[in-house]
Amino acid sequence: MHPRPIKDNVFAVGAVDWDRRLFDALIPLPDGTSYNAYLILGSQKTALLDTVDPAKADVLFENLKGVERIDYVIAHHAEQDHSGCLPAVLARYPMAQVVGSTKAKGMLIDHLHLEASKITAVEDGATLSLGDVTLEFAHTPWVHWPETMSTFARESKILFSCDFFGSHLAQSDLFVKDEEFLYEAAKRYFAEIMMPFRTNIKRNLERIKDFPIEMIAPSHGPIHPRPAFILDAYRDWVGDTPKNAAVVAFTTMHGSTELLVERLVASLAERGVKAFPFNVAEGDIGKLAIALVDAATIVIGSPTVHVGLHPKVAYAAFLANALRPKAKFAAVIGSYGWATKMAEQALALMPNLKLEVLPGVVVKGMPRAEEDEAVEKLAETIARKHKELGLA
Ligand code: FEO
């Protein structure tokens, strides 16, 4: 690999990680990821924007071969997948000064033990001249850490946004080629790390709206040559109004809960509610996160294990609580053998969500005709509640 030109004097020097399948020991990466770093060769100064995950340090340094001087390293974010190579970069380029937000300075000292004198903290709106290139810093915090900032390169009109607008997607092309394919990867990424901070993300969209952006270069996944595509998607995802959709996170042991789920999904579909059944014992949890971005209702479906909630369903409920989606309603369906506290446990795992709880259906053994009717009634209630919100 060598520096790959993007536009004017801007080059990609990061690394693609084709084989990584899990992030934070939590997030599935079906399509790998990339750690994007960019080099800007100004007429007077050179800046490196972010580094890469330490596991790919060799790729970064191979790409920087021949670069004799780096004056600034812009550290948009202190998380190690972007900042982890800073100590090695500073060892190789001892004249370089690290530039980050005020919060980032403290975090880089704590996390990477950098010397305070090596870091310049910049305020929101501050600028840095590289000669014929002007970098303007925009604080865009809580994308998912509190210190994150973006950089707008005024002359090339590129926004370097770090995790913001990123996607875990490994590809050989530098730019987005297939927007439909990218959409799911970007939505998955938003759901997994940014959804809990929707209000902040909304503010960040406001913060950057006056930049005449012609390209968005994030720190994961391909570069957006058509910024309107990803900006429109984000405006939709951060909106407060959910869609006429229900997520059914369930698993089944002997088939009773699955029968309830099948009936509920069919009944919701008949009433025009888009239902997404997701078996948490088998599926890619990222798909559940994606569905939670839009859903107005979360249905938990669980058999009973030792009188309680199935542990895999508990994981899904706990995750939903952590991701804080905009859903308004919840219900629990499921089954038991002799006694159950499954429904109470499921609801107790989602205190962050402020959901209106709808009457659920819990059956002993296989569902009977009257329990089928109760499932129909639940579907009817969900459809009516969505309609009352103006979603249908
Ligand atoms: Fe890609 Fe929050 O680091």
* Atom nearest to 145 CA in ligand 1: 2
Residue after which a domain boundary falls, among 194, 212, 238? 238
Ligand 1 atom 2 nearest Cα: 79
* 173 in the same domain as 309: no
* 64 in the same domain as 24: yes
82 Cα: distance to centroid of ligand 1 (angstroms): 7
* Total number of domains in the chain: 2
Domain that holds residue 271: 243-388
pLDDT at 392 over 90: no
20 CB within 6 A, ligand 1 = no
**pLDDT classification of 389: cutoffs 50, 70, 90:** very high
Closest by Cα among 360, 314, 358, 362 to 338:
362
Residue after which a domain boundary falls, among 193, 218, 238? 238
- State pLDDT tens for residues 168-184: 999 999 999 999 999 99
Ligand 1 atom 1 nearest Cα: 163
Ligand 1 atom 3 nearest Cα: 79
Mean pLDDT of the residues in the chain: 96
- State pLDDT tens for residues 209-268: 999 999 999 999 999 999 999 999 999 999 999 999 999 999 999 999 999 999 999 999
**DSSP per residue, 71-132:** -EEE-S--SHHHHTTHHHHHHH-TT-EEEEEHHHHHHHHHHH---GGGEEEE-TT-EEE-SS
* 230 in the same domain as 332: no
**pTM of the predicted structure, to 2 decimals:** 0.96
192 CB within 6 A, ligand 1 = no
* Atom nearest to 143 CA in ligand 1: 2
* 87 in the same domain as 168: yes
- What per-residue confidence (pLDDT) applies to 24? 85
- What per-residue confidence (pLDDT) applies to 1? 52
- State pLDDT tens for residues 327-352: 999 999 999 999 999 999 999 999 99
Residue 358 exposed, middle or buried by CB count within 10 Å (0-12, 13-18, 19+): middle
- What per-residue confidence (pLDDT) applies to 23? 86
163 Cα: distance to centroid of ligand 1 (angstroms): 5
CATH number of the structural domain spanning residue 382: 3.40.50.360
* 312 in the same domain as 228: no
328 CB within 6 A, ligand 1 = no
220 CB within 6 A, ligand 1 = yes
Largest CA distance in the chain: 78
* 293 in the same domain as 312: yes
* 119 in the same domain as 224: yes
CATH number of the structural domain spanning residue 232: 3.60.15.10
Angle at 40 between CA 155 and CA 87, to 5 degrees: 140
Cα within 13 Å of Cα(149), Cβ side? 26
What's the rounded mean pLDDT across residues 54-82? 97
